[in-house]
Each structure stands twice: as C-alpha cells, then as structure tokens.
C-alpha cells in the first residue's frame, strides 16, 4: 500500500498522464461530474458519481465500424480503426467497476467484439472506494462492496490522504509509473475508513432491497404481471435511464451515406425508444408498457438466465437520480417482488 497527500494529487495525475491519456471525474459547466481528459491543474470532482457511467470508455456512444468506398463497380472496404492509445480511467466507483465484468460477458463472448476488446486491453482502471454513499445507492443488493472495489488498482481517499494499492499486472505497472510521487503507507487509516462506511451501509434507505424474487427462473410470473401497466403508465419513453446506466449495452448499427461511400457506425440505442429493434414490420414491442418491461426483464430475468444468475444491474442509482418521472429499477423490484413468490 502506498499513499500521497491530497495536496500532491496534481503530481500524481501528472505522473499518470505521462505517455498515456488520463481521465478523471471533473465537474462540468453545470457542476456535475463527468470523466474528463486530465490536463495540468484539473481538479477531481467531489461528487460520488459521474452523470454518465464509465462504460463509454469501452463502449462509446457512437463509433465507426467500417467504411465502404465506391468507385464504379468496385467497393473498397476500409477498417477505420487506428491504434488505440493506452489510457487510464481514475476514480471509477465500485458499481461502475463491476459493470465492466457484466459488459465483458456480452462483448467478449464468442464472437468477440474486437472494438470493445481492444479498448479493454488498452485501458487501466483505477477505482476509488466510496467514503460517502448516498441514499440512491444499492450496490450491496447486487453483491458489490463499495469499500473494496474491483479494478487494476484501488484507491482510498481519507480526509487528507490518498492510498493506492495495485491489484493486477496493469495496476502494478500503473503504481510503478507514479511511484516517484508516492510514499509507503500503512493500512490502518484505510481500515478505519472502511469500517466507518460499513457502519453507514445498513443505514442506507435501500439497504434491505432484495433480489430474491428475481432471476432467470422467474420468467413467466414476472412477464405476465399486471403491475407493469401502472409501473410504465407515466414513462416518457426517453432514453435517460438507458444512457446513464453502466450496464445497458444495446446498440444500433446504421449506415451513413457520405455521397461517395458509406460509413457504417454503431451507437447506443434504448429499448425505451419506439424505433428500437426495428424489423420488417416495425418494432415488435408496440406499446411503452412492453418497452419498459423489456428493460427491467433484461436486467432482472433474461441476463441472469443467460449468465449463471448474474443480474444486469450494479445498483449505482443513476436511474433513481435521473429519471424525469422518478420511476426506476428499485420501484419496479419493490412492486413486483410479491409476484414470483
């Protein structure tokens, strides 16, 4: 375990940004946090979470997949990818760190998504243990420990010091790289903070949220529940929940005609949208009820059915904070938990 005074945080960032891109949570123009490419002097946000999750480092909102160039009857196929640069994402919370393993199950399963894989290989994740969980947090319901995040290296921030510990080969390389600004630290301050946060966790309003009523084997009783009607009644059909969610992974692939060729790109999509998964006859989910149900069934039933029981939610609470009508996975779970028993 190494440490550094928070007064010297800029030195740490400077060392980390040497020869690779460094992203930290920083406050934007509206005072909310987002992962931003660090430049000298940039301060780390004090917010618990960024508005958008960290998933876009591996699964960006839009990306070019392939270009087609037409010359007479010839079609040239061009791979638009350039070499991915090494990058470090600093300050990822435990919930977001867990989301990467969920996304891996989708993108790294056969056939491997090489666009995603390349970014995963070039990215180093430095996580930050939580010291001030909020009322919207429920990561513990999904087995995440906010005091011990996953990641290549893990940081703990106390009042005046930052502690850092490498967990993987990449993490060791990261710590080696910034070692000049670090000093040896002993774990007692970290242990004290972990204990303090563990005292808060049971006091969180959603501490007792249970996943018992959900899972891959609860398909029909949940699907057929009459309660989806009231749950979805005031859904606006926007994509806020989907786009701030660390685990939502659906995308659309479209062609953009440039006049002398085609750029094929993919972009985040939302099952809440009316033009999602269009087939020859249109969207198979004709009503907002069906679209709304799809989103939650995916996280609570379909994903665990296909992934050894693992749920497609990490309890980050972004949808609780951001849904314009304050409808979210917690309300869905609480309303439906009686249905499958």
Partner 1 sequence: MQGKMIARAKELLQNGTVNRVIGWKAGDFAYDITPAVFSSAEELDAGFVYNDFCGANFSKYLVKESRKEGKILVFLKPCDTYSFNQLTKEHRIIRDNIYVVGVPCDGKTDGETLKLKGITGITGIKTEGDSFVVDTLYGEKTIAKADALPERCLSCKSKKHVAYDELLGEDGEVCESNRFDMVEKLEAMSSEERFAFWRGELSRCIRCNACRNVCPACTCERCVFDNDNSGIAQKAAADSFEENMFHIIRAFHVAGRCTDCGECSRVCPQNIPLHLLNRKFIKDINEFYGEFQAGEDTETRAPLNIFDTEDVEPSIVYEKGGN
Residues of this chain that interact with partner 1 (CB under 8 A) are 28-32, 34, 48, 51-52, 61-62, 132-136, 200, 203-206, 230, 233-234, 236-240, 242-244, 252, 254, 256, 265-270, 273-275, 278, 320-322, 324-328, 330-331, 334
From the CB of 215, what's the least distance to partner 1, in Å? 22
Of 4 and 137, nearer to partner 1 (C-beta) is: 137
Of 168 and 240, nearer to partner 1 (C-beta) is: 240
Of 104 and 252, nearer to partner 1 (C-beta) is: 252
Tokens 């609780």 map to which residue? 320
Of 199 and 308, nearer to partner 1 (C-beta) is: 199
Q: Which of 150, 67, 107 is nearest to 248 (CA)?
A: 107
From the CB of 81, what's the least distance to partner 1, in Å? 17
Determine how many CB atoms are found less than 10 A away from the CB of residue 144: 23
Q: Going by C-beta distance under 8 Å and a sequence separation of 6 or more, which residues neighbour residue 224?
A: none
Pairing of strands 87-92, 123-128: parallel
From the CB of 175, what's the least distance to partner 1, in Å? 30
From the CB of 48, what's the least distance to partner 1, in Å? 7
SS3 (DSSP) at 173: helix
Residue 193 φ/ψ, nearest 5 degrees: -70, -40
Strand partners, 3: 163, 183
Determine how many CB atoms are found less than 10 A away from the CB of residue 265: 18
Of 216 and 261, nearer to partner 1 (C-beta) is: 261
Determine how many CB atoms are found less than 10 A away from the CB of residue 152: 23
Residue 225 structure tokens:
């529940």
Tokens 């309303």 map to which residue? 335
Of 170 and 291, nearer to partner 1 (C-beta) is: 291
From the CB of 209, what's the least distance to partner 1, in Å? 10
From the CB of 125, what's the least distance to partner 1, in Å? 22
From the CB of 132, what's the least distance to partner 1, in Å? 7
Tokens 């692939």 map to which residue? 253
Of 211 and 242, nearer to partner 1 (C-beta) is: 242
* Whether 142 contacts 303, CB under 8 Å: no
């Amino acid at each position: 375990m190494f440490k550094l005074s928070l007064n010297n945080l800029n030195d740490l960032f400077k060392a980390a940004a040497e020869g690779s891109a460094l992203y930290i949570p920083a406050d934007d123009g509206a005072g909310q946090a987002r992962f931003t490419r660090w430049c000298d002097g940039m301060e780390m946000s004090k917010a618990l979470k960024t508005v958008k999750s960290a998933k876009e480092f591996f699964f960006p909102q839009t990306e070019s997949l392939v270009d087609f160039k037409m010359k007479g009857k010839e079609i040239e196929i061009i791979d638009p990818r350039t070499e991915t640069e090494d990058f470090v994402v600093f300050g990822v919370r435990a919930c977001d760190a867990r989301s990467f393993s969920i996304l891996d199950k989708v993108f790294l399963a056969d056939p491997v998504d090489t666009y995603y894989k390349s970014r995963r290989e070039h990215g180093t994740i430095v996580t930050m243990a939580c010291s001030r969980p909020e009322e919207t947090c429920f990561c513990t319901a999904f087995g995440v420990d906010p005091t011990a995040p996953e990641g290549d290296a893990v940081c703990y921030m106390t009042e005046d010091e930052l502690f850092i510990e490498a967990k993987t080969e990449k993490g060791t390389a990261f710590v080696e790289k910034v070692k000049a600004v670090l000093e040896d630290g002993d774990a007692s301050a970290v242990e004290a903070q972990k204990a303090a946060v563990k005292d808060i966790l049971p006091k969180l309003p959603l501490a007792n949220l249970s996943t018992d009523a959900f899972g891959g084997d609860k398909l029909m009783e949940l699907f057929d529940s009459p309660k989806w009607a009231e749950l979805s009644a005031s859904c606006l059909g926007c994509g806020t929940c989907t786009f701030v969610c660390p685990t939502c992974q659906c995308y659309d692939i479209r062609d953009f005609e440039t006049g002398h060729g085609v750029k094929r790109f993919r972009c985040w999509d939302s099952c809440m949208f009316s033009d999602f998964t269009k087939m020859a006859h249109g969207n198979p989910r004709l009503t907002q009820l069906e679209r709304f149900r799809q989103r939650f069934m995916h996280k609570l039933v379909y994903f665990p059915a296909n992934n050894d029981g693992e749920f497609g939610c990490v309890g980050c609470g972004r949808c609780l904070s951001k849904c314009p009508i304050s409808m979210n996975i917690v309300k869905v779970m609480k309303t439906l938990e009686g249905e499958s028993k």
